Amino acid sequence: MKFVVKLGGAALENPEMLHACAQAIADMVKDGNQVALVHGGGVQLTRTLKLMGKQSEFISGLRVTDAETRDTAVMVLGGQVNKALVAALGGHGQAAMGLSGGDGLIFRARKKRTAPDLGYVGEIVASDPRWLDAIWQMGAVPVISSIALGFDGEYYNVNADEMAAACAAACKADALVFLTDVPGVRGADGEVMRWLNVDQIAGLTRDAVISGGMLPKLSACREALLQGVKRVRILPAEVASVLPDLCSSRVSFGTEVLVA
């Protein structure tokens, strides 16, 4: 089977959690699956910007990105975080190839049109998964940072959840899994919703039940499902060990997002 796994949040900061996620992905490949790992790194980027004296600003869960912030994102996401994940997988004997969305022109972006303007924030408009297929043929895991190249020659910072959804759609993944630092999507009663239909997202947003970083995540879930991805699940990274069993047995963690 073909999986796209998006990793972000605390798992990138916690060595034990990162070890468990890398082990789970390595086990999935050993079981004969093809896995692509898409990652964020917002915490690391915010920390680096703070050291540079820059304050981070977010609108509807998306980072306002001027040219300096964009260049720093290329350095932190495409460099430090990406190579740390390659190393984590290598520590489990699993070969991995670190990429940004611009490498091989795998993903092309355009400036996201928003009001107010977010700067160098992009959205994926085209993809060419042949490089992913080539890496999979070699038994390796493509590790993709959420940076993509625009047709104007500029790099754009892309929300990692949106990048993961675009990746899953491009390679016709059987499943897209978001490994997060939350237990799932919480309903109005505060309890984790085991199942969430995409038709419910608008109401939850209107009632402010979901907000912040969960907004682009659920938008990405919806887009992936509408573009043919068979299964989408938001899963706490602390239970990453269940990943190899996700499509073969009942998993009671996280939130399964469904399309009617």
Q: What's the count of helices (H) and strands (E) in the chain, helices before strands?
A: 8, 14
- CA 250/CA 210 separation, integer angstroms: 26
User: 212 a known binding residue?
Assistant: no
Could you tell me which of 250, 245, 128, 225 has the C-alpha nearest to residue 173? Answer: 225
Q: Is 157 annotated as a binding residue?
A: yes
- The DSSP string of 35-78 is EEEEE--HHHHHHHHHHTT----EETTEE-B-HHHHHHHHHIII
Q: Is 63 among the annotated ligand-binding positions? A: yes
Which two tokens mark 217? 């995540």
β-strands 107-111, 121-127 pairing = antiparallel
Look at residues 7, 2, 3, 17 and name the one whose alpha carbon lies nearest to residue 146.
Answer: 7
Radius of gyration of the chain (CA): 17
Cβ–Cβ under 8 Å, residues 181 and 10? yes
Q: Which residues pair with 192 in a beta bridge?
A: 186
Q: Tell me: is residue 222 an annotated ligand-binding position.
A: no
In 3D space, the residue among 3, 27, 32, 48 whose CA is nearest the CA of residue 168 turns out to be: 3
Annotated binding site for substrate: 41-42, 63, 157
Annotated binding site: 41-42, 63, 157
